[in-house]
C-alpha cells in the first residue's frame, strides 16, 4: 500500500502527489498563477499533450503534458473558488 494522496506547498504553489497501483509513470499536479503560460512552456520544452488545457467546471483551468522521462505534469490555475459542498 502506498500514498493515495498528499499535498505540499512550495512558495505560492501546491504540489499534489499520489501513487496509482500498477502505474508506470509519475503524475504531478501543480497549481500555478498562469496555466496557459506553464502549458506552453511544457510544450516548447518537448512535452506532448496528454489532456488539452481547458476549464473543467470545478474552478480549475487544467491540462496535462507528458515529458520524455515518464512524468505527466498537470498544470492548473484555480480561477474560481467553488463553495464547499457544491
pLDDT tens-digit readout, 25-47: 788 888 899 999 999 999 999 99
Termini Cα distance of the chain: 31
Mean pLDDT of 18-27: 72
The reported pTM is: 0.69
Burial zone of 27 (CB within 10 Å; 0-12 exposed, 13-18 middle, 19+ buried) = middle
| pLDDT at residue 86, rounded to an integer | 44
| pLDDT at residue 47, rounded to an integer | 95
User: Is the distance from CB of 70 to CB of 20 less than 8 angstroms?
Assistant: no
| pLDDT at residue 79, rounded to an integer | 85
Amino acid at each position: 500500500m502506498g500514498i493515495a494522496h498528499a499535498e505540499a506547498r512550495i512558495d505560492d504553489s501546491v504540489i499534489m502527489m499520489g501513487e496509482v497501483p500498477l502505474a508506470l509513470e509519475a503524475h504531478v499536479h501543480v497549481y500555478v498563477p498562469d496555466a496557459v503560460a506553464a502549458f506552453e512552456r511544457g510544450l516548447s520544452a518537448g512535452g506532448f499533450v496528454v489532456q488539452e488545457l481547458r476549464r473543467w467546471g470545478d474552478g480549475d483551468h487544467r491540462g496535462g503534458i507528458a515529458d520524455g522521462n515518464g512524468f505527466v505534469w498537470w498544470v492548473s490555475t484555480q480561477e474560481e473558488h467553488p463553495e464547499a459542498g457544491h
